[in-house]
């Protein structure tokens, strides 16, 4: 593992544990047992580190959403997206928990986030549109209903950690991610063809049991 990778791995661990606001470059350098100068060789400041971590999150989310998606979309692939997407939320939970704080402090990061959001909404809408074309889903009756489903899916995914944080729980746990998976699936379930829904729920149930 390179020094750059070690810095990112340590920063991610510390920020997930203590929150992004509580972790600066000095704390990261101390945890690594290196001087701040060694850290600054790779990253100018904390914002630079967060941008690098977000770049990894961005790439992983895009891959989760579109890799191996060929029509017709099978129920197992549909369920797998939600499982893997919330694994990603858990891996980068510091970012989701401090989203407003981080974006307000860094215009570059905010622009990168908006680019991912724009792409994700279009991709999510394309997936539910394909499910309708496959006969696996019915379209909401109102105009723009598929776009609305895509948006609501995105809002739950992006805000789930903050929901947990403000609900009075001491810490965010892996079990909380299981609940988040269920919330997104319940959003779409009323529109799913019954056989497709049952198949997807079986995949979710089998996958989530070890995580409870």
Residue 192 DSSP SS3: strand
- At residue 59, does pLDDT exceed 70? yes
Instruction: Tell me, yes or no, whether 26 and 98 share the same domain.
Output: no
Confidence of residue 1 (pLDDT cuts 50, 70, 90): confident
Instruction: Tell me, yes or no, whether 106 and 164 share the same domain.
Output: yes
Taking the C-alpha atoms of residue 90 and residue 81, their distance in angstroms, rounded to an integer, is: 14
Confidence of residue 78 (pLDDT cuts 50, 70, 90): very high
Taking the C-alpha atoms of residue 59 and residue 158, their distance in angstroms, rounded to an integer, is: 16
How confident is the model over 71-88, as a mean pLDDT? 93
Taking the C-alpha atoms of residue 30 and residue 143, their distance in angstroms, rounded to an integer, is: 55
Confidence of residue 153 (pLDDT cuts 50, 70, 90): very high
Instruction: Tell me, yes or no, whether 176 and 203 share the same domain.
Output: yes
Instruction: Tell me, yes or no, whether 145 and 74 share the same domain.
Output: yes
Residue 137 DSSP SS3: strand
Instruction: Tell me, yes or no, whether 183 and 81 share the same domain.
Output: yes
Instruction: Tell me, yes or no, whether 35 and 54 share the same domain.
Output: no
The pLDDT score that the predictor gives to residue 211 is 61
pTM: 0.93
Instruction: Tell me, yes or no, whether 69 and 6 share the same domain.
Output: no
69: nearest Cα among 80, 60, 58: 80
Q: What percent of the chain has pLDDT over 90?
A: 83
Within 13 Å, how many C-alpha atoms sit on residue 184's CB side?
28
The pLDDT score that the predictor gives to residue 208 is 75
Instruction: Tell me, yes or no, whether 101 and 157 share the same domain.
Output: yes
Q: What percent of the chain has pLDDT over 70?
A: 99
| Residues forming beta bridges with residue 192, ordered by sequence position | 137
Instruction: Tell me, yes or no, whether 102 and 115 share the same domain.
Output: yes
Task: Domain count for the chain, please give it.
Answer: 2
> What CATH number is attached to the domain comprising 4?
1.10.10.60
Taking the C-alpha atoms of residue 28 and residue 13, their distance in angstroms, rounded to an integer, is: 10
Instruction: Tell me, yes or no, whether 164 and 202 share the same domain.
Output: yes
Q: In sequence order, which residues have a C-beta less than 8 Å from that of residue 100 and are 6 or more positions away?
A: none
> What CATH number is attached to the domain comprising 95?
1.10.357.10
- At residue 131, does pLDDT exceed 60? yes
Instruction: Tell me, yes or no, whether 63 and 109 share the same domain.
Output: yes
Taking the C-alpha atoms of residue 160 and residue 69, their distance in angstroms, rounded to an integer, is: 25
The pLDDT score that the predictor gives to residue 66 is 85
The pLDDT score that the predictor gives to residue 171 is 87
Instruction: Tell me, yes or no, whether 145 and 198 share the same domain.
Output: yes
How confident is the model over 131-153, as a mean pLDDT? 95
Question: Domain span at residue 10?
Answer: 1-44
């Amino acid at each position: 593992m390179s020094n750059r990778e070690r810095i990112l791995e340590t920063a991610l661990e510390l920020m997930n544990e203590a929150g992004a606001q509580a972790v600066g470059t000095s704390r990261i350098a101390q945890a690594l047992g290196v001087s701040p100068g060694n850290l600054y060789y790779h990253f100018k400041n904390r914002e630079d580190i967060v941008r690098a971590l977000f770049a990894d999150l961005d790439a992983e989310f895009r891959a989760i959403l579109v890799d191996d998606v060929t029509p017709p979309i099978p129920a197992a692939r549909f369920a797998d997206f939600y499982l893997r997407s919330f694994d990603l939320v858990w891996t980068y939970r510091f970012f989701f928990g401090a989203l407003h704080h981080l974006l307000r402090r860094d215009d570059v990061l905010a622009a990168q986030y908006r680019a991912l959001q724009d792409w994700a909404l279009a991709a999510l809408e394309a997936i539910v549109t394909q499910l309708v074309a496959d006969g696996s889903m019915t379209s909401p009756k109102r105009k723009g209903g598929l776009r609305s489903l895509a948006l609501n899916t995105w809002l739950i995914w992006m805000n789930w950690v903050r929901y947990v944080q403000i609900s009075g729980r001491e810490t965010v746990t892996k079990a909380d991610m299981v609940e988040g998976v269920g919330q997104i699936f319940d959003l779409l379930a009323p529109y799913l063809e019954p056989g497709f829904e049952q198949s997807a729920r079986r995949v979710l149930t089998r996958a989530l049991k070890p995580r409870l």
